[in-house]
Structure 1
Amino acid sequence: MIRNRIICSREALENFQFVTVNGKVIFEDKDKIVRIARAYSQVVKSAIRPLFDGKSVDELTKEFYSILPNYIYLETALKQAKTITDGLLDREKDKILHAKVKRFWFGSRGNKSDKGNRNVKFHVFQDHVEVRVKDPWSKWVHGKAYLGKEYLPLLHELEELAERKEEGYGAVISFKHYPMIHLQVPLWLYLKHFSLPKPVGYGLIAGFDLNSDRLNVVVVNKDGKVIAIKTFWYSDVTRPGFPKGKAMALRLNALSESLNFLSRVGVDYVVFEDLFLVKRRRFTRSKSGNRKVSRFAKKQLLIHGVIKALRLGFNVILVNPKGTTNSEYHDRMMREKGFDRHTASAYLIALKGLGMLNNIK
């Protein structure tokens, strides 16, 4: 059996090319780094309205070069602004002028021909990583990054690949409590260093239904017969005022528990909804329901689940979510099998994954 395979749409595949490795960084001249971030943030904020009105990225690159005189930084900033613009809902069009950029950071995309990254370079030592960041108005700014000793062999190999122009890596410098560096490592390289051995399975398929307060899993065999059903609850996270960081931690823990459970059951394929085919969130008339939707970072949870599953040796399938929540077939499964709506969704997701698997065999 081929392991660590992902079957999904082209839109989704773009989100699973890299894994981010994070660490604290201490710069020799923090003020220069902050200046880059302020200029970067100004470009993002200033570009939102023109992009929404139809201006091209090429036009804006020339227009904002005087603010941030570095094409790679500019390109990355404008891509962020475009993402914000594309994510605005129709009902928010009248608030376009007040769109906020909450995060304070700057990024530089990777490129093989630039020996990994034109603006952010690193060199691995025994207990830390030396970092150099290009200052658009001056020379390089040096710093020391601490990303965890377990990542040093991985980063050392990435450094060698970048030097040979075989791999690129994206880099982000962020500021919250202190400066952080986030290096985007190629997924294949991450799995090479961190994949764990998985027990031989029985060809079973597990469908996941991710929700704000629970995780539903249904396991089926190659004939579509239900083998196991399990729900992992984290209901407290939807309470008003519940810490966002703690809520995500509980959801991620439930995902880890579910994947460990599936490994013991003998599952080989895990199936999630392809959320990258969904262009916007579905809001309801319920204020509490809308609060849950707006606070629930479902795509972030999906990305974590996919990478975790690949690391544990599962094959991953992402299916079109159409019909898995609101459809006649969904209602019929609830009536005939006595499933609640979330279990029925997980069951249909598993069946869709089985269908995709049969089509490519």
Structure 2
Amino acid sequence: MTSKLIGSKEAPENFQFVTINGKIEFGELDKVIRIAYYYSKAVKAGINLALRGVSLNNAVKELYKIIPYAFYAETAYKQALALVENNGNKVEIRKKWIACRGSKADKGNRGIKFHVLEDQVEVKVKDPWGKWVHGKAYLGKKYLPLLSELEELSQRKEEGYGAVISFKHYPMIHLQIPLWLYLKHFSSPKPNGYSLVAGFDLNSDRLNVVVINKDGEIITFKTWWYSEVVSHGFPKGKAGALRLNALSEALNFLSRIGVDYVAFEDLFLVRGRKFTRSMSGNRKITRFAKKQLLIHGVIKALRLGFNVILVNPKGTTNSEEHEKVMREKGFDRHTASAYLIALKGLKVIKNNE
């Protein structure tokens, strides 16, 4: 069975790429840090331009004065626009990084390029004030065949890839791989199941799943807990790993019982975070990267051969129907949400038949 992503017309836009990460070493690191300093400065200036509603072309001309390479300036402004859209005027730029958007017409990427060798990846970064700066990236041998094909496609102007160089603890490279190509290299075949639909409710401290059949009847429901991750001082990295592990366990369980469709809320339809009067509740909200968990869940599900459905989250948490489900089924709030998400997924399937 070939997996597919089903949702609104806009849904696939948020799942076009998979990011792979690796350490990178530069012989002239000082030059790369200089580029990152001015790129980050351009993003900061771009935020002010975005708040004023300046057009892309005019913004690029202004930012070119800070970082004199049009492809960096353009990417910086697009990132500034995204930051303003997500956070309003409360945006702080503290880190330094370099980013360059991908393009088929530019043989993949104009500012950050890679070349695959037998056991490593050569990278070169465009210096706006000089020549290319060369480095070596260590992304893992399992990715080399994938990167070789992407390089070939880029040279033929058939695919592009975005790229970022970051400096949190040491220099890292982040390459945005087209999703279809990633799935081609890393998907696992899944036998056909029984047309069962599983609804997922993603939370900061638990993962709730409800499985229904094509008639909407409940087959099973299950909760994966990771309550410790919301305690004060719990390491953010370890919390993320526990959540991802729960997602993987849930998907493997669903594969074993014959589920063919998994439904998630399309969180990209939700604007902003809703804060509460509870300090502990707000800590859960700020520390919980729900959209990142959604992206991981969608990609993991596609890799395992599930069809993925993204549904509108309206009414799945606070609604009369939600209250009715809790009352009649005896479900807690999160299980009730998972059940309603599954029902919405089933409705999408029937509308697409």
TM-score, normalized by length of structure 1? 0.95
Q: CA separation in 2, counterparts of 1:345 and 1:338?
A: 12
Q: CA separation in 2, counterparts of 1:191 and 1:206?
A: 21
Tell me how far 1:58 sits from its aligned partner: 2.3
Q: What is the aligned counterpart of 2:225 among 223, 228, 233? A: 233
Gaps of 5+ in 1: none
What residue number does 1:22 align with? 21
SS where residue 73 of structure 2 aligns? helix
Matched, 1:81 2:73: no
What residue number does 1:57 align with? 56
What residue number does 1:164 align with? 156
What residue number does 1:191 align with? 183
What residue number does 2:252 align with? 260
Q: CA separation in 1, counterparts of 2:267 and 2:193?
A: 27
What residue number does 1:219 align with? 211
Q: What is the aligned counterpart of 1:273 among 260, 265, 283? A: 265
What residue number does 1:31 align with? 30
Map residues 112-131 of structure 1 onto 2, 5 A cutoff. 112-131=104-123
Q: CA separation in 2, counterparts of 1:131 and 1:289?
A: 43
Matched, 1:308 2:293: no
What residue number does 2:95 align with? 103
What residue number does 2:40 align with? 41
Instruction: Give yes or no for contact 1:269–1:316 (8 Å, CA) kept in 2.
Output: yes
Q: CA separation in 2, counterparts of 1:59 and 1:8?
A: 35
Q: What amino acid is aligned across from residue 7 of structure 2 in structure 1?
A: C
Matched, 1:327 2:319: yes
Matched, 1:5 2:9: no
Deviates more, 1:350-359 or 1:240-249: 240-249
Deviates more, 1:281-290 or 1:23-32: 281-290
Tell me how far 1:3 sits from its aligned partner: 2.1
Q: What amino acid is aligned across from residue 83 of structure 2 in structure 1?
A: I
SS where residue 297 of structure 2 aligns? helix
Q: 1:15-74: per-residue Cα shift (whole Å, max 9, x none)?
A: 111111111111121111111100011011122223113223322211121110111111
Q: CA separation in 1, counterparts of 2:171 and 2:283?
A: 31
What residue number does 1:360 align with? 352
Instruction: Give yes or no for contact 1:11–1:277 (8 Å, CA) kept in 2.
Output: no
Q: CA separation in 2, counterparts of 1:342 and 1:3?
A: 30
Q: What amino acid is aligned across from residue 40 of structure 1 in structure 2?
A: Y
Tell me how far 1:108 sits from its aligned partner: 0.6
Q: CA separation in 2, counterparts of 1:73 and 1:64?
A: 9
Q: CA separation in 2, counterparts of 1:32 and 1:121?
A: 16
Tell me how far 1:202 sits from its aligned partner: 0.7
Q: 1:175-229: per-residue Cα shift (whole Å, max 9, x none)?
A: 1121111111111111010001213211100000000100000000000000010
Tell me how far 1:291 sits from its aligned partner: 1.5
Tell me how far 1:335 sits from its aligned partner: 0.5
What's the Cα RMSD here? 1.1
Aligned residues: 353
Tell me how far 1:241 sits from its aligned partner: 1.0
Q: 1:64-117: per-residue Cα shift (whole Å, max 9, x none)?
A: 21110111111111111111111225xxx5xx4xx3123321111111111111
Q: What amino acid is aligned across from residue 59 of structure 2 in structure 1?
A: L
SS where residue 10 of structure 1 aligns? coil
TM-score, normalized by length of structure 2? 0.98
Tell me how far 1:293 sits from its aligned partner: 1.0
Map residues 241-252 of structure 1 onto 2, 5 A cutoff. 241-252=233-244
Instruction: Give yes or no for contact 1:109–1:169 (8 Å, CA) kept in 2.
Output: yes
Identity %: 69
Q: CA separation in 1, counterparts of 2:293 and 2:60?
A: 33
Q: CA separation in 1, counterparts of 2:184 and 2:10?
A: 24
Gaps of 5+ in 2: none
